[in-house]
Structure 1
Amino acid sequence: MAKSKQNPVTAKKGLSANAWTTIAVLVVAVLVIGGVLVFQHKDSPATGEDTVAADVLRHSDSHTVSEAKDGKATVVEFIDYQCPACEAYYQNITGKLVNDYSGRITLVTRNFPLPMHPLAVPAARAAEAAALQGKYREMYDKLYGDYRSWAVQPDGQNVSSDEQRAQARFDAYAKDLGLDLDRFHRDMASPAVQQRIDQGKADGQKAGVTSTPTLFVNGTEFRPAGTTYPAISQELRTLLDKELDL
């Protein structure tokens, strides 16, 4: 019987060709998995244990809906004005939170318009233009408080793409707030206003934001376990009470 020829390398090491093939596969797997883990660690969103840098979440000129002097509890919310969930948060969680914790927490809002909401950017421009005339909080309340009149189609089923209808509502809000309407229009169309919106989106991406609303409490992303607005609200309040030593 003829003897099979041995691979001189495997023969020298005392390993079969199959063993070396197995080792090679394992090495490749480790390298691939390791590379994936490194990539995910580098680019993954902040977890509940990570803290995002303060200068990413908030700038010196960022808008606040509520302000506390002691700085114990700061909530930063990345919002899309046409996002139904953001409106629901306003109605059920953050709007009530601002009233109930008035003077005790700071609520900062940052722009993060999403591509699937065609009126998100125009609404953000309206809010930013109102801010330039000292009426940010008031316009913020108008946009969410009267949400269905501009953000939703007349059938009430889907978000609207009717920018002309939305602009008419924005103008009505501006008049109600006593804004200079010509200046309001100029500011809405200005590069400075667009830059603020773009900066919010860029900062949100750095912080790992992928959807709205996304909230951070003292730099750490708030990821509720609850599935109802009352449950989520209670989780947020419990966390804030802890930060406030209540």
Structure 2
Amino acid sequence: MSKTSNPLAAGRKGPSTNVILTVVVALVGVLVIGGVLLFAGGGGSFGGGQAVPAQTLQRENPNQVLQSEDQKVQVTEFLDYQCPSCAQYYQQVTSPIEDQYQGKIDFTVRNFPLTQAHPLAMPAAQAAEAAGMQGKFKEMYHQIFDNYQQWAVAPGGQSVQQDPARATATFEQYAQQIGLDMAKFRQDRDSDQVSQRIEQDMSDGQQAGVSGTPTIFVNGEKWEPSGGGDPAQQFKERIDQELAK
């Protein structure tokens, strides 16, 4: 912030302008930090290492990429399909675990579309949910992320794609490729039921303290890689810790 000198200040008694500004800045800093801490720990969300209840992270008829019989390890990811970080995590962190942990863990995907930044996140979520209603969520989930550059990124790769009609047509191609009933797919995609499922995901995510994507929970505890390490290896180590209990 620029400062403007005040020649009248030299003749005044009491604290100088600089002292007053210093105090004000310090108070503002305290209020901002306090507000951040209050937001992180209040409002019904979970923080400070507190595990999020299973009923918040799971739901009836969940969209699962992996399933296990004992349900010992529950991994839940809140994601935005057009989020570049989510696409990167899919390629480097979550997708590689599918073969290694098939039948050993449950991996559930929840929607958290950040539509202001990613205008095609909602159509993608609707397509995935509609496929799930025909028992092929996993197949559509893979189509959407495996072909991320095709529908999500604008020509040149410097920004996200913003054409919903083009994206919708692309998702219909994916639906055909995985063998969906197209009339039912279109009906489900535009239905209140799909909209309600996405809204419930977002509500549960907010309750769990999700504010960005991707956000991953392992047995109710938020997981984040530590700096300087390989996120994929750290994720596997975290899962192995839970399996070993």
Q: TM-score, normalised by structure 2?
A: 0.81
Pick closer, same or farther for the CA change 1:87–1:41 going to 2, 3 Å: closer
Pick closer, same or farther for the CA change 1:145–1:159 going to 2, 3 Å: same
1:191-233 Cα offsets, whole Å, 9 max, x none, are: 10000001000000000000000000000000221356xx111
Q: By how many angstroms is 1:234 displaced?
A: 1.2
SS at match of 2:95: helix
Partner in structure 2 of residue 195 of structure 1: 196
Q: By how many angstroms is 1:43 displaced?
A: 3.2
Q: By how many angstroms is 1:60 displaced?
A: 2.2
Written as runs of structure 1 = structure 2, the 5 A alignment for 1:127-142 is: 127-142=128-143
Pick closer, same or farther for the CA change 1:38–1:197 going to 2, 3 Å: closer
Partner in structure 2 of residue 114 of structure 1: 114
CA distance in 2, matches of 1:153, 1:125: 21
Pick closer, same or farther for the CA change 1:48–1:237 going to 2, 3 Å: farther
Give ranges in structure 2 of 5+ residues lacking alignment: 1-26
**Superposed structure 1 runs of 4+ greater than 3 Å apart:** 35-41, 43-48
CA contact (8 A) 1:46 1:221 kept: no
Pick closer, same or farther for the CA change 1:219–1:113 going to 2, 3 Å: same
Greater C-alpha Rg: 1
Q: By how many angstroms is 1:48 displaced?
A: 6.0
SS at match of 1:127: helix
CA distance in 1, matches of 2:99, 2:237: 16
CA distance in 1, matches of 2:227, 2:106: 23
1:85-136 Cα offsets, whole Å, 9 max, x none, are: 1111111110001111111111000000002100000000000111111110
Q: By how many angstroms is 1:236 displaced?
A: 1.2
Q: By how many angstroms is 1:46 displaced?
A: 3.6
Give ranges in structure 1 of 5+ residues lacking alignment: 1-28
Pick closer, same or farther for the CA change 1:40–1:87 going to 2, 3 Å: closer
What is the identity, as a one-letter code, of the residue corresponding to 1:223?
E
Is the counterpart of residue 67 in structure 1 residue 84 in structure 2?
no
Is the counterpart of residue 241 in structure 1 residue 240 in structure 2?
yes
Written as runs of structure 1 = structure 2, the 5 A alignment for 1:76-225 is: 76-115=76-115, 116-225=117-226
CA contact (8 A) 2:44 2:207 kept: no
CA contact (8 A) 2:83 2:213 kept: yes
CA distance in 2, matches of 1:140, 1:38: 36
Pick closer, same or farther for the CA change 1:41–1:68 going to 2, 3 Å: same
1:41-87 Cα offsets, whole Å, 9 max, x none, are: 32385446210011000012111100111112110000101111111
CA contact (8 A) 2:131 2:180 kept: yes
1:121-171 Cα offsets, whole Å, 9 max, x none, are: 000000011111111000000000011111111222111111111111111
CA distance in 1, matches of 2:181, 2:236: 38
Partner in structure 2 of residue 12 of structure 1: none
Sequence identity, in percent?
A: 45
Pick closer, same or farther for the CA change 1:214–1:227 going to 2, 3 Å: farther
Counting matched residue pairs gives 213
CA distance in 1, matches of 2:143, 2:41: 40
CA contact (8 A) 1:83 1:212 kept: yes
Computed over aligned residues only, the root mean square deviation of the Cα atoms, in angstroms, reads 2.1
CA distance in 2, matches of 1:227, 1:221: 19
CA distance in 1, matches of 2:40, 2:211: 15
